[in-house]
Structure 1
Amino acid sequence: MVHKLLEVIDSILKTGMCVGMFIPKRLYSVDVVRPGEQLHQICIVLRDVPGALAKAARVLADANINIKTSSSFFVTEYPNAGVWSSFIDVSNATKSLEDVEAELRKLDVVLEVILKEPKPAPFESIHFPIFHGNTRAIIMPRGMFWALWNAFEKIFAHSGLVVVLYNAGKRIGQHAANRISEVFGLKGKELIEALAQAGQATGWAITEIKEIDLNRASATIIVKDCFEAVAWREKPYTVCHWTRGYLAGYLSVVFNKQVEAKETKCLAKGDEYCEFVIK
């Protein structure tokens, strides 16, 4: 398993599928079914003890069931347990799913088992709603953002859409900074570092702090592979107005002073990355 993972990482690095040293992450929402595979989904509620996941995985391995895209997480409904949910390929299974379920239920660490065949398409079909931390979330492919913004631009005209996106981004950025500060107890430099963490974790972009001056309330931030620039595709002008507003709102909380942001470079207009000056 470890050797296979290292091969995958090496392949990703060689093919340029990652940004810097980051490895792409596939969300547990839909899976890729290869020819000959027979896809099922399994969800197991496990006691919150060391080795619980290993015991459950061993039952699947002993039945020659291949574990594919999966996720493990806590939910409030099971305060002393965790949930492990996964797509599995049963095309070469040596035991029936009924027998596998029975073996899992016999384990002292297993509280519940759910098996389901996702049909007609390989979408995850056991869980709802989706949570980002403790906040309900949705998954939107970047093409949907382009379609929305393109439609709004026709209604508001370009200049009007710029104002709408910037102001909306600024309000959301302020809320995000206040929330992160409150939940994790972060201020100043650490709150700025959390901005980069959150952007990467949610798939928005890779954020780098080029310059920061807490006393003068100013900063220069580089945003690589920004979802907004990628969604807008090629334009002769800067396009990341929502991101620009978000950074202005977020850093207004960091600096405890209202600041504005200007995009000086943009991936959509041919620059290597997006760059924002905040002051």
Structure 2
Amino acid sequence: MDSRIENPDPSHFAVIRPHKSMACLINKVASTSLASHLLKLNGYEDLGPSPHSGLDRIAPKSADGLRYYNKTFYKFMFVRDPMSRLLSCFHDKIVMNPERNFWFRRHVLQTIRGKELPATKNVLRTTGNEVPSFEEFIQYILEDDIQDKFKSHWSPYWSYCTPCSIQYDMIGKLETNTADFKYLWKKFGWIEPVPVANSYKMSQETKNAYVSSLSREIILRIYKRYQIDYEMFEYDINAVLEVAKAAPLTDQELSESEY
């Protein structure tokens, strides 16, 4: 279970010192596009294989530094519907790039199905039964004791970007990213092109099919894990339940809370 105490981590933030601003970049929320542009705004052109690998160069160097930027710089972050983010993560880490993601897929299967699998990539080439389903992926990330290198891809927004400790001046949404990015770029007069969020080209039909594969019980567990995000950033879990053709939350379920 997530700790309900915020603990701001300097490594989660990117400082644009020439423009006195600071961002919290959340994986699967246009973070690659933003990381690339923020590094360039700091004068870094050689971004290497992934912009994320260079973010340590523009992160606050200490907790004291983070507190200083919190008091004096303009702060912003971006969020998206939590279920949409989980779908994007599943698509990226399970569906796409089977060779690159072999070990992660294998670990998910062993964790959820409780059986050992051969340490060979052939096991994921032979049968679709050896590829985690969306429900198995969700079960994996809901495990309380999972400590995974990809955990930042599904950490709740409130715990990763600590909006009760960091006084954000702007919280944008991926659903309105075009307008939100333009606002931000215009505010600072940034010359770099406005980022374009990568949607991975997953059709709405495919997204609906994945969501429909989930039981109401699993969706309720997702809601409990991300309840603060759903409420704080005004997303609607009943819209997810509707896609899954499940009954909406009852008043009692809405009133129950893990925090």
- Using the size of structure 1 for normalisation, the TM-score is 0.27
Q: Pick the structure with greater CA Rg.
A: 1
| Greater fraction helix | 2
| Greater fraction strand | 1
| Higher RCO (C-alpha 8 Å, min separation 6) | 2
